Structure 1
Amino acid sequence: MFSHRVLKSVASSTFRAFSQHGKAPDMADGNAHLLVTNVRNRLRQIVGASTNWKDHQQALAERILLSKHLANSQEELPAKTMKESEIEVHLPLGTQRSVREKYLNVHNSVRFGRILEDLDSIAVLICYSHTWNKELERSPLSIVTALVDKIDMRRNIIYPDCDIKFTGHVTWVGKTSIEAKMHMTQFHDGAYTPVLDATFVMVARDPENKRAAFVNPLKLESPEEEKIFQQGEINKKRPCSSTHSTQKRLAFGVGFFPKAIWMEDAKLKGLEICHPQERNIFNRIFGGFLMRKAYELGWANACAFAGCRPMLVAVDDIMFRKPVEIGSLLMLSSQVCYTEEHHVQVRVHTEVLDPLTRQHDTTNVFHFTFQVEKPVPAVVPQSYGESMLYLDGKRHFDETMKSQ
């Protein structure tokens, strides 16, 4: 028999070993937990989505039959608590080298675009956890991302060889919409430290994703939950900055700004062909993929503009205006729209082009705030449209700085 002192010494040594290599004890072999790599498979099981593209039409036909299980009113659905939607998802960067390779960037850090993909999938799973009916084998709801309200970075460095944990739950519910908050922490120096906080707003639709569907109301169990819910109410009433218009027009030129650059010269564009590989469980392009591509283009633009590596500070007001169909041409355009000292505000506009009809449709507008190591030149608008982008960029930047 080992003595208590010996067992304690062994446990302490094991913990130090994990700490040195960024491997969290709760992600050690033999511990049961949900991995990021399993989240999308779990979602496919919940809705009965096909795993092969060639079978997607049959899967859709089967999902249409689930419409009979939709509630006719929210009152028909049982209230759920915040705890019922709580989930914990692990990303074993320190434990599994094969996973690490997918997330590694050239700067020996983590590709944040991959993190955006993971957050989007986890937010959907949180909402399905809230609406899950144990009596049904599959959910009749199509839950999709409507808005990324805010992503606040708590730490700029994400280590590529340290385990990551995502936690989250539903924080607000309307008739057909759900707000989910998530927290990302990373195991480093023997403890989990905060990396980011994210707020997503999801909407529920029918199995064909054509009309709104009711979701379970939220049952509040404590004053703390009441406070969280009230913040969700405030977020709902707050208009998105990206949709806020202004009539003020700027009239200035480069002469007012030393080392200034015209906004026209601070653009970067890209194009993606939307292949079936990037589809979501409803056979449209995965929202996380769109966020990753927009982030990477915005980051590249900020890097080229500043001449040094930018660090993400915040993401906000990502509105999903239109689903992106398989086979579309995704056109991305990034614009440095505002700068201040060591910060660069980048707006990325995405639209789809149907190659057969040649119809253009805006799908998303993204707003990223970056910080760089040296002061950057000012950007100056020349046209009325650029002036509006400048004011909108300043508004996003000011809101981000208030929350830091």
Structure 2
Amino acid sequence: MESKKVSESITVMNELVLPNDTNVFGNLMGGRLMYWMDIAAAMTASKHCNAPCMTASVDNISFKNPIKLGNVVHIEAKITRAFHTSMEIHLMVWGEDNLHQYRYESNEAYFTFVALDPNNKPRLVPAVLPETEQEKALYDGALRRRQLRLILSGKMKPNDANELKAFLNS
């Protein structure tokens, strides 16, 4: 299976925040944003492996700034690393106030997806080839984030997380 560049599967999604998307404060509801983020991440995962994919986990969605009614939501999803059958997708979200002409950071998260074969069983995925410094940094951190996810889900013992231990002890 041939490796693929990060740039081959980047997804950029834009949404306009309408009244039905907001809470009583006029801010985009977190659940609606998570829904849009999941779609963008799924498109990136599917592009990377040319197969249907399902969400396996969502890490720490950080809400930095609210996105207001009438603003535009920009979501950028890119693969950081592929493992055996799973892929980590990094998402960055910005809000844009067109009236006042400024863009601001709103959210960041990591989603994990698993590729599926025609029988809905996990299938192998291509490796990732990071090219830029940012892509390489996200790639390097992905194994530690994966080990942390596995520990928190009870699928890995802390003593077996060698990359994470080395990082914490450095």
Return the match for 2:110 from 367, 383, 400: 367
Residues 53-74 of structure 1, C-alpha deviations (whole Å, 9 max, x = no match) = xxxxxxxxxxxxxxxxxxxxxx
Deviation at 1:285, TM superposition (A): 0.9
In the TM superposition, what are the counterparts of 1:297-336 in structure 2 within 5 Å?
A: 297-336=40-79
Counterpart-to-counterpart distance in 2, 1:336 and 1:302: 7
Higher RCO, 1 or 2 (CA under 8 Å, sep at least 6)? 2
Counterpart-to-counterpart distance in 1, 2:67 and 2:124: 38
> Which segment is superposed worse, 356-365 or 327-336?
356-365
- Contact 1:337–1:347 under 8 Å retained in 2: yes
Q: Which runs of 4+ in 1 moved over 4 A?
A: none
In the TM superposition, what are the counterparts of 1:101-112 in structure 2 within 5 Å?
A: none
Q: Which residue of 2 aligns with 1:71?
A: none
Residues 1:283 and 2:26 are matched in the alignment: yes
Counterpart-to-counterpart distance in 2, 1:353 and 1:309: 31
Q: Which residue of 1 aligns with 2:139?
A: 390
Stretches of structure 2 lacking an aligned partner (at least 5 in a row) = 116-121, 156-170
- Contact 2:56–2:112 under 8 Å retained in 1: yes
**Match of 2:24, SS?**
coil
- Contact 2:8–2:48 under 8 Å retained in 1: no
Counterpart-to-counterpart distance in 2, 1:392 and 1:289: 28
In the TM superposition, what are the counterparts of 1:23-62 in structure 2 within 5 Å?
A: none
Counterpart-to-counterpart distance in 1, 2:95 and 2:141: 23
Larger Rg: 1
Counterpart-to-counterpart distance in 2, 1:276 and 1:335: 29
Q: TM-score, normalised by structure 1?
A: 0.35
- Contact 1:349–1:364 under 8 Å retained in 2: yes
Q: Which residue of 2 aligns with 1:349?
A: 92
Deviation at 1:388, TM superposition (A): 1.5
Equivalent residue pairs, number? 147
Return the match for 1:399 from 148, 152, 167: 148
Deviation at 1:297, TM superposition (A): 1.0
One-letter identity of the residue aligned with 1:333:
E
Counterpart-to-counterpart distance in 1, 2:141 and 2:69: 32
Percent of pairs identical after alignment?
Answer: 22
Stretches of structure 1 lacking an aligned partner (at least 5 in a row) = 1-257
Return the match for 1:377 from 115, 126, 137: 126
Q: Which residue of 2 aligns with 1:37?
A: none
In the TM superposition, what are the counterparts of 1:67-82 in structure 2 within 5 Å?
A: none
**Match of 2:74, SS?**
strand
Residues 62-87 of structure 1, C-alpha deviations (whole Å, 9 max, x = no match) = xxxxxxxxxxxxxxxxxxxxxxxxxx
Counterpart-to-counterpart distance in 2, 1:262 and 1:391: 15
Residues 268-312 of structure 1, C-alpha deviations (whole Å, 9 max, x = no match) = 111001111111122211111111100111012112222222122
Deviation at 1:263, TM superposition (A): 1.3
Residues 174-208 of structure 1, C-alpha deviations (whole Å, 9 max, x = no match) = xxxxxxxxxxxxxxxxxxxxxxxxxxxxxxxxxxx
**Match of 1:361, SS?**
strand
One-letter identity of the residue aligned with 1:382:
E
> Which segment is superposed worse, 296-305 or 314-323?
296-305
Counterpart-to-counterpart distance in 2, 1:395 and 1:327: 38
Residues 144-181 of structure 1, C-alpha deviations (whole Å, 9 max, x = no match) = xxxxxxxxxxxxxxxxxxxxxxxxxxxxxxxxxxxxxx
One-letter identity of the residue aligned with 1:298:
A
- Contact 2:27–2:67 under 8 Å retained in 1: yes
Taking only aligned residues, the RMSD between alpha carbons, in angstroms, comes to 1.4
In the TM superposition, what are the counterparts of 1:3-402 in structure 2 within 5 Å?
A: 259-372=2-115, 373-402=122-151
Counterpart-to-counterpart distance in 2, 1:307 and 1:347: 18
One-letter identity of the residue aligned with 1:281:
V
Counterpart-to-counterpart distance in 1, 2:46 and 2:90: 14
